[in-house]
Amino acid sequence: MLRRALLALLPLAGSVLGQTATQFIDGETGWQFTGITDPVHQVTYGLTFPPLASSGPQSTEFIGEFVAPIANKWVGFAIGGAMLQNPLIVAWPNENEIVASTRIANMYSVPTELDGPILTTLPSSHVNATHWKFVFRCQGCTSWTGGGIDVTSGAALAWAISTVGVDDPSNPQSTFQEHTDFGFFGMDFSTAHTSNYASYLSGATGTTPPPSSPSGPTSTKPTPTGPTVAATPFDYIVVGGGPGGIVTADRLSEAGKKVLLIERGGPSTGETGGGYTAPWTEGTNLTKFDVPGLFETMFSDPNPYWWCKDITVFAGCLLGGGTSINGALYWIPNDRDFSQASGFPLSWGNHQPFTNKLKARLPSTDHPSTDGKRYLEESFDVVAQLLKGQGYSEITINDNPDSKDHVFGHSAFDFLDGKRGGPVASYLRTAKGRKNFSYLDYTLVTNVVRNGSTIVGVQTNDTRIGGDGIIPLNPKGRVVLSAGSFGSARILFQSGIGPSDMIDLVKADPVAGPKLPPPSQFINLPVGMNVMDNPSINLVFTHPSVDAYENWADVWASPRAADAAQYLKDQSGVFAGSSPKLNFWRAYSGSDGITRIAQGTVRPGAASINTTLPYNASNIFTITMYLSTGLTSRGRVGIDAALRAKPLVNPWFADPTDKVVLLRALNDVVSNMKDITGMTMITPDRQMTIEQYVDAYDPGTMNSNHWVASNRIAADAQHGVVDENTKVFGTDNLFIVDASIIPSLPTGNPQGMLMSVAEQASSKILALAGGP
Ligand SMILES: Cc1cc2nc3c(=O)[nH]c(=O)nc-3n(C[C@H](O)[C@H](O)[C@H](O)COP(=O)(O)OP(=O)(O)OC[C@H]3O[C@@H](n4cnc5c(N)ncnc54)[C@H](O)[C@@H]3O)c2cc1C
Ligand SMILES: *[C@@H]1O[C@H](CO)[C@@H](O)[C@H](O)[C@H]1NC(C)=O
Ligand SMILES: *[C@@H]1O[C@H](CO)[C@@H](O)[C@H](O)[C@H]1NC(C)=O
Ligand SMILES: *[C@@H]1O[C@H](CO)[C@@H](O)[C@H](O)[C@H]1NC(C)=O
Ligand SMILES: *[C@@H]1O[C@H](CO)[C@@H](O)[C@H](O)[C@H]1NC(C)=O
Ligand SMILES: *[C@@H]1O[C@H](CO)[C@@H](O)[C@H](O)[C@H]1NC(C)=O
Ligand SMILES: *[C@@H]1O[C@H](CO)[C@@H](O)[C@H](O)[C@H]1NC(C)=O
Ligand SMILES: *[C@@H]1O[C@H](CO)[C@@H](O)[C@H](O)[C@H]1NC(C)=O
């Protein structure tokens, strides 16, 4: 929901890695490395370490190489696997030389010089007509302030490339623009040592590779070892423990079905076994995922292990999915959200019984502190005054879900008892209490196992299960995909379902390709097409009354003491809420006759400021303007050759009318600003009009993380991926229940509407004949 620099997307460690490093011999030097060749850009990254010491400290150096086709203008490599607060080695060709430096990145800025490591270019580095190759020794490179790698075990590593050259190629400290792509891989350092290390350094050639062997690494994955566990069949296998999957698994198990919920990530809140606490909540069960006031730290953590590493936009890969890491804005859906105009089949129009079930299980609150009081309300007060001047009226938003024109109110959330609540603290609790409900975490589903149109099970990455990782279905059993707008689309591609260009990428992958069904069983559906996300634009202001709360920068390590103590005592105060304080909506009719609704979200602080004006950072606040219902722009999501899920065609402003309407909304919201004494807009500043500001806006930062419709519900297989029972066209027993089936964006942030969709979908699935 908030604008972020993409650099923050470059986190890491642990969880989900597209590739695993393997050993290879460099064809030119004969040196043995461990590494990968990224299949999209064809850049090879290799490392080799000195022999392990049998006693005493390990050596702190290694030899590395990057071999890059010249289209890669610079290459970066993060030793610790996170782009933030980790050493980076950045290199590029300059005429016939390689220019390189070690860097360190802090939030949202170009990585700066890092003193300490000694980087030496080795003689086999070269530049030719097609490639550049950087072979280097890095000394003092295995530990750094605040971290390090253990050369006796495994870790995650990250790479970044750019197709845009650096600003000053002859200068090793040159600035450059943000990477154009990045990725992660896992590496077992314990097997990446060579007894020839010293002779490599003295210039010796290594082992001569057999002529047939490829000079880059192959991408076979190691087979996990361990005892084989029996694969139990289930009535329903639900893939993905986000809001869609949790609500569905709860309702299916409530009906007496034997249900397995599979989640690729691990625990989130304290209740689920999570233990990631802030220094000031240590010794309690109040984790980062429990304390609402820690929301903004999701984007500034040096080790944000919860983001999916194989999806290039923000997506939560942990129990609760997006609802464990999001701002928790929670809107009860309205009639228009489920209308035929919004793309729903007629049979979905009567959403009220399902929305009522949702409200009963998961109430909303616009005063989440346990003492019933509201905190940090100054930005609310300023913007309320502004909006009243534009004819808006104040309402309790979720008491009036159909009222979305010229209204504003206090932001509403699905926090419970002053903590992150959501589906994890409601639906999942009841599911877990049932004997027929099973839960498997840290387990990745790659594809469904098909016999023609029938799904017989799911393929997991845990080959100990049944010996090959397949979890079967009972006779008449069903699979429900709830892996999110990117995740479910990828599982379909890997199951032979979707456009042929996507299936071709799967075919070419040495691990996923052989798992595809025979081509005669491929199902051509518009998977990934028609995706939507709200375009959003931030305006940043100051007002002397506003408390910017240090822009949320201190809440993790050095919170205001009284606020921390108050929260620890009884989950009340500032920390019982996330950053948003006020929401508003206004309807616009576009030149194309379509009514579009603009939404605003107000919060103290700002994600990014660009201004020539002097300002007091203690007083900043943001109005984010989104376009929601009625939005017409659509894009496409899919995968690349590394099977990373990503937007292929950006959805924002694909239809120029959307841009015109959002511009009107932005201009309107500041139209009477002069009436509010002391209110100043600092971004955009006076050097720029709002039009110029929007024209210059980086499309990637227009992302609201509200992706829907990549597997939209539709009347037929030409227009969508699932039918009115949420069953995938052309299959007998494959269903999807997550944000991807929503045909177009609802009137606000989507999680509330999505959970009503999941209530209705699980009811329709249970009612559909032929099931278990
Ligand atoms: C940073 C951010 C802020 C947001 N803020 C808000 C907000 O304030 N209000 C709001 O309404 N919405 C917000 N959203 C959007 C909201 O969180 C999503 O719309 C919602 O979570 C989508 O739910 P889902 O069930 O479709 O998928 P997800 O929530 O993405 O859940 C998918 C789950 O499936 C798991 N999974 C994926 N692939 C596999 C696989 N192959 N095998 C096994 N498991 C798998 C994932 O780990 C995850 O747990 C925000 C989203 C983000 C990213
Ligand atoms: C399967 O994938 C998950 C998520 O990436 C990971 O945590 C887990 O360790 C993997 N399991 C195996 C057996 O490789
Ligand atoms: C250019 O360098 C690359 C990488 O070292 C190598 O694979 C390739 O053979 C070289 N090309 C020529 C023409 O020497
Ligand atoms: C558990 O599931 C099995 C298989 O569907 C079913 O026969 C049994 O009745 C269920 N038990 C309960 C307590 O729901
Ligand atoms: C944390 O939660 C666990 C599981 O619910 C519970 O056993 C434990 O007592 C809790 N610890 C604290 C300090 O509250
Ligand atoms: C696949 O389905 C066909 C009928 O549709 C059936 O005859 C066959 O036995 C099935 N194969 C397997 C391996 O289950
Ligand atoms: C900035 O704002 C803070 C909080 O309102 C105030 O205490 C401080 O004096 C202001 N600083 C300046 C230079 O005006
Ligand atoms: C910052 O603002 C200036 C004008 O004040 C503009 O020229 C520049 O493009 C802006 N930069 C970004 C990244 O928006």
Residue 334 and residue 410 in one domain: yes
CA 357–ligand 2 middle distance (angstroms): 35
684: preceding bond cis by omega (within 30 degrees): yes
CB 131 within 8 A of CB 114: no
Q: What percent of the chain has pLDDT over 90?
A: 80
CA 269–ligand 5 middle distance (angstroms): 11
Tell me the residue length of the chain: 772
Both ends of the chain: CA-CA distance in Å?
39
Give start and end residues of each alpha helix (H) in 510-576. Answer: 561-570
434 occurs within a structural domain: no
CA-to-CA distance for 471 and 588, rounded, in angstroms? 50
Residue 333 and residue 481 in one domain: no
CB 409 within 8 A of CB 226: no
Ranking 177-181, 298-302, 658-662 by mean pLDDT, the lowest is 177-181
CA-to-CA distance for 649 and 376, rounded, in angstroms? 39
CA 15–ligand 2 middle distance (angstroms): 7
Q: Among residues 751, 4, 756, which one has the least CA distance to residue 412?
A: 751
CB 552 within 8 A of CB 637: no
206 occurs within a structural domain: no
589 occurs within a structural domain: yes
Q: Which CATH number fits the domain that encloses residue 93?
A: 2.60.40.1210
Q: Where residue 184 falls among pLDDT bands split at 50, 70, 90?
A: confident
CB 330 within 8 A of CB 751: yes
Longest CA span, the chain: 79
Q: Give me the pLDDT at residue 361, please.
A: 98
210 occurs within a structural domain: no
Instruction: Give the pLDDT confidence of 427-480 residue by residue, as tens digits.
Output: 999 999 999 999 999 999 999 999 999 999 999 999 999 889 999 999 999 999
- Hey, is 639 helix, strand or coil? strand
The angle at the Cα of 70, spanning 90 to 28, to the nearest 5 degrees, equals 85
Q: Give me the pLDDT at residue 21, please.
A: 87
DSSP string, 683-695: ES-TTS-HHHHHH
Ranking 112-126, 380-394, 516-530 by mean pLDDT, the lowest is 112-126
Residue 457: CB atoms within 10 Å: 21
CA-to-CA distance for 7 and 358, rounded, in angstroms? 36
- Hey, is 492 helix, strand or coil? helix
**Residue 316 in this model has a pLDDT that exceeds 50:** yes
Q: Which residue's alpha carbon is nearest to atom 3 within ligand 3? A: 131
**Residue 770 in this model has a pLDDT that exceeds 70:** yes
Q: Give me the pLDDT at residue 109, please.
A: 64
**Is 285 near ligand 5, meaning CB less than 6 Å away?**
yes
Which residues constitute the domain of residue 631?
270-423+532-702
Instruction: Give the pLDDT confidence of 57-93 residue by residue, as tens digits.
Output: 889 999 999 999 999 999 999 887 666 777 889 999 9
**Is 618 near ligand 7, meaning CB less than 6 Å away?**
yes
Please state the atom number of ligand 1 nearest to the C-alpha of residue 265. Answer: 47
Q: Where residue 303 falls among pLDDT bands split at 50, 70, 90?
A: confident
Any catalytic annotation for residue 706? yes
Which ligand is nearest the CA of 608, by number? 8
Please state the atom number of ligand 3 nearest to the C-alpha of residue 130. Answer: 1
Q: Among residues 305, 271, 269, 302, which one has the least CA distance to residue 287?
A: 269
CA 500–ligand 6 middle distance (angstroms): 25
Residue 103 and residue 187 in one domain: yes
Residue 509 and residue 457 in one domain: yes
536 occurs within a structural domain: yes
Q: Give me the pLDDT at residue 607, please.
A: 92
Residue 346 and residue 462 in one domain: no
Q: Give me the pLDDT at residue 355, please.
A: 98
Residues 6+ apart with CB under 8 A from 286: 270, 277, 278, 419, 567, 568, 571
Residues 6+ apart with CB under 8 A from 577: 292, 293, 368, 369, 374, 375, 376, 413, 415
Residue 22 and residue 130 in one domain: yes
Q: pTM for this one?
A: 0.86
Please compute, for residue 201, the number of CA atoms within 13 A of its CA located in the half-sphere on the CB side: 14
Residues 6+ apart with CB under 8 A from 451: none
Q: Give me the pLDDT at residue 434, please.
A: 97
**Residue 2 in this model has a pLDDT that exceeds 60:** no
CA 263–ligand 1 middle distance (angstroms): 12
Token couple for 205:
């050639």
Q: Where residue 270 falls among pLDDT bands split at 50, 70, 90?
A: very high
Residue 588 and residue 463 in one domain: no
40-55 CB burial, b ≥16 within 10 A, e <16: ebebbbbbbbbeeeee
Give start and end residues of each alpha helix (H) in 555-683. Answer: 561-570, 656-669
Among 702, 727, 759, residue at a domain's last position? 702
Which ligand is nearest the CA of 543, by number? 7
364 occurs within a structural domain: yes
Please compute, for residue 534, the number of CA atoms within 13 A of its CA located in the half-sphere on the CB side: 29
Which ligand is nearest the CA of 27, by number? 3
For tokens 């939404």, name the residue: 599
Residue 590 and residue 653 in one domain: yes
Residue 613 and residue 720 in one domain: no
Residue 196 and residue 58 in one domain: yes
Q: Give me the pLDDT at residue 149, please.
A: 87
Residue 70 and residue 171 in one domain: yes
Residue 485 and residue 552 in one domain: no
Please state the atom number of ligand 1 nearest to the C-alpha of residue 330. Answer: 11
Catalytic residue (choose from 131, 351, 706, 719): 706
**Residue 317 in this model has a pLDDT that exceeds 90:** yes
State phi, psi for 138 to the nearest 5 degrees.
Answer: -120, 110
Amino acid identity at 550: E
Q: Which CATH number fits the domain that encloses residue 683?
A: 3.30.410.10
CA-to-CA distance for 602 and 605, rounded, in angstroms? 9
Q: Which CATH number fits the domain that encloses residue 245?
A: 3.50.50.60
Determine the residue of 259, 436, 437, 478 to mutate for testing ligand 4's pocket, defined as the one with the most ligand atoms within 8 A of the Cβ atom. Answer: 436
Average pLDDT for residues 694-712, to the nearest whole number? Answer: 93
- Hey, is 621 helix, strand or coil? strand
Number of domains into which the chain is organized: 3
284 occurs within a structural domain: yes
433 occurs within a structural domain: no
Among 201, 218, 246, residue at a domain's last position? 201
